Amino acid sequence: MVYLNLSPLEYWDPSRRFSAYGHEWRKIVSQILQSADLEPRVKVYERGSAVNMIESLFWKNGDKHYLGLVKNPTEQKELPEIAYSSHIEGITGQPVDIHLEFRKNVALINLRTKEHLGVGKVFRDRFWPWEGNLYEVVYMKGAQG
């Protein structure tokens, strides 16, 4: 167990979240996770950098594994304030090219488009923020999780 002596509630404030304070907060939490040898199952990038408020959600149903990408929308009233420190689009933003990086080789199927994206660790796709993306993730034998 790690006691951070930090509250994530303050992190919700966009002027803090997208400032140097927010960057340091993420750095502290990332270092703790890395020291515990924990890393995300997938990293998602858009426009060549870290995602812009896209949340990765994994779940399992029977023997099948799924990944959902959803926009974690910023409230409309916050957008003018955020614009000063970072470019954030709401769920009505434009479609963007994304790439997903998995820790292990997987087969990836976009269930919305029915497109088989292949087998590997890195995949490219398109993300529509007002819809989200849904994938079936097929782990190679012995590579689950």
Three-state SS at 135: strand
pTM of the model: 0.74
Superfamily for domain range 41-139: Golgi alpha-mannosidase II (2.60.40.1180)
For residues 54 and 71, is the Cβ–Cβ distance under 8 A? yes
Nearest-10 Cα torsion for 13, 15, 18, 24: -80
Q: Give me the pLDDT at residue 129, please.
A: 82
Question: Tens digit of pLDDT per residue, the chain (145 long)?
Answer: 666 665 666 666 667 777 788 788 888 888 888 898 888 899 999 877 776 678 899 999 999 999 999 987 655 555 555 444 445 555 567 788 999 999 999 999 999 999 999 999 999 999 988 888 999 999 988 655 5
Residues of the chain with CATH 2.60.40.1180: 41-139
